[in-house]
Amino acid sequence: MQIRPILATLKHHKAGTLLIAMQIALTLAIVCNALFIIRQRVSHLSQPSGVDEANVLVVLNEWAGKPSPGEIASLMAADVDTLRRLPGVADAYASNTYPLSGGGIAFGIGHSPDKLKPVSTTAIYFADQDALPTLGLKLVAGRNFRADEIGQVDRHGDIQPGAIIVTRGLADRLFPDGSALGKTAYISRQPSTIVGIVERLQSPWVDSGMAEWADCSTLVPYRQLTAATRYVLRVRPGQLEDVRRHVRAALYAANRMRVISPKDGVRTFAEIRADAYKSDRGMAILMGVISVVLLAITAAGIVGLSSFWVGQRRKQIGVRRALGATRHDILGYFLTENLLISTVGVLVGSVLALGLNLWLMKQFELARIAPGYVVAGVVVLLLLGQGAVLAPALRASRVPPVEATRSV
Partner 1 sequence: MFGYYLDLALHSFRRTPVLAGLMTLAIALGIGASITMLAVLHNLSGNPLPGRSDALFHPQVDPRPADLPGAKDEPPDDLSYLDAVNLYQLGVAPRRALMSSNWLPVRKDAQDSPLAMVTDRATTADFFAMFGVPFIYGSAWSAQDDASHAQVVVLSRAMNQQLFGGEDSVGRNLVIATKTFRVAGVVDDWNPQPRFYDLNDGAFGKAEQMYLPFFTWLDLPQDYGYGPMDCWGNDPNAGMHDPKAQQCTWAQFWVQLDTPAQVAGYRAALVQYSAQQHRLGRFQRPPNVRLAGLVDWLDYKRVIPVTVRMQTWIAFGVLLICMVNTVGLMVAKFLRKSGEIGVRRALGASRRMVFLQCLVEAGVVGVAGGLLGLPLAWLGLWMVRQQPVSFAASARFDPSMLGAALALAVLSALAAGVWPALRASRVAPALQVKSL
Enumerate binding residues for partner 1 (CB under 8 A): 15-16, 19-20, 22-23, 26-27, 30, 34, 62, 64-66, 107, 114-116, 155-156, 158-159, 226-227, 258-259, 261, 278-279, 282-283, 286-287, 290, 293-294, 297-298, 300-301, 304-305, 307-309, 311-312, 360, 363-365, 407-408
Q: Is 23 or 134 the residue whose CB approaches partner 1 more closely?
A: 23
Q: How far is the CB of 95 from partner 1 (least distance, A)?
A: 17
CA dist 117 and 183 (Å) reads 18
> What is the torsion angle, in degrees rounded to the nearest 10, for the CA atoms of residue 57, residue 63, residue 67 and residue 73?
0
CA–chain centroid gap for 65, Å, is 41
Instruction: Using the minimum distance from each CB to partner 1, give the nearer residue, 141 or 394.
Output: 394
Exposure on the CB side of residue 185, measured as CA atoms within 13 A? 31
Nearer to partner 1, 147 or 249 (CB): 249
Beta carbons within 10 angstroms of residue 48's beta carbon: 11
Residue 236 CA to residue 266 CA, distance in Å, equals 17
The conformation of residue 212, written as its DSSP 8-state character, comes to T
For the bound state, the minimum distance from the C-beta of residue 198 to partner 1, rounded and expressed in Å, comes to 24
Nearer to partner 1, 40 or 134 (CB): 40
Question: Whose CA is closest to 214, among 173, 178, 269, 274?
Answer: 173
104 near 124, Cβ under 8 Å? yes
Residue 9 or 129: the one with the smaller Cβ distance to partner 1 is 9
Widest CA span in the chain: 103
- Minimum distance of partner 1 from residue 136's CB (angstroms): 28
Q: Which is nearer to partner 1, 19 or 119 (CB)?
A: 19
C-beta separation of 322 from 406 below 8 A: no
From the CB of 146, what's the least distance to partner 1, in Å?
26
Q: Cα angle vertex 76, ends 231, 250, to 5°?
A: 65
To partner 1, the closest distance from the beta carbon of 187 in angstroms equals 10
Cβ atoms of 206 and 123 closer than 8 Å: no
Q: How far is the CB of 354 from partner 1 (least distance, A)?
A: 15
Q: How far is the CB of 279 from partner 1 (least distance, A)?
A: 6
CB of 112 or CB of 179, closer to partner 1? 112
